[in-house]
Amino acid sequence: MKAFKFLMIFLFSALYMNAQEGDIQIEQDEKIVALLDIYKEYNKSNEYYRIQVGFGSHNQAMKIKSDFEIDFPNLYSHVDFDSPTYRVRAGRFKSKLEAERKFKEVRKKYPDAILLKPKKSTR
């Protein structure tokens, strides 16, 4: 009998919890949205150092990227198509010192890696 009462209380409370609904409205200053837009535009146009780990066909590049993500799981990597090959590039380093430190570490595992400098802006 105790088990039956417990079961009934549990079922009714579960039904009661599922029946609740609500709306959440977030009010934020429009300046925050403008600030985020400025931040996104700055990061899009800002240049940074990258490390090219390897290149090849699409399948080769995907294999290199997969291996790289296992070896360096905390380092952002991406496959770019730069005709006629796919290139695996890693990192987004703002300073040359930071890029060179990580490059030195990457070169131990990937001796063909090269450090790419930011392109000069034509603005």
Q: Which helix (H) or strand (E) holds 2?
A: helix 2-18
Give the residue among 87, 85, 115, 117 at the shortest CA–CA distance from 102. 115
Neighbour tally for 91: CB within 10 Å: 22
Interval 20-56: pLDDT, tens:
567 888 888 888 888 888 887 776 666 889 999 999 9
Residue 2 lies in a domain: no
Interval 47-82: pLDDT, tens:
889 999 999 999 999 999 999 999 999 999 999 998
Residue 13 lies in a domain: no
Residue 97 lies in a domain: yes
Interval 83-112: pLDDT, tens:
899 999 999 998 899 999 999 999 999 999
Residue 95 lies in a domain: yes
Residue 42 lies in a domain: no
Q: Taking a C-beta distance cutoff of 8 angstroms, is the pair 56, 115 a contact?
A: no
d(CA 68, CA 76): 10
Placement of tokens 């549990």 in the chain: 10
Q: What is the pLDDT of residue 63?
A: 96
Residue of 119 and 86 predicted with greater confidence: 86
CATH code of the domain containing 95:
3.30.70
Give the residue among 83, 50, 78 at the shortest CA–CA distance from 64. 78
Banded pLDDT at 123 (limits 50, 70, 90)? very low
Residue 6 lies in a domain: no
Residue 121 lies in a domain: no
What is the domain range of residue 60?
52-116
Q: Taking a C-beta distance cutoff of 8 angstroms, is the pair 93, 50 a contact?
A: yes
Banded pLDDT at 15 (limits 50, 70, 90)? low
d(CA 113, CA 104): 10
The count of structural domains within the chain is 1
Banded pLDDT at 14 (limits 50, 70, 90)? low
Give the residue among 86, 114, 118, 84 at the shortest CA–CA distance from 102. 114
Residue 15 lies in a domain: no
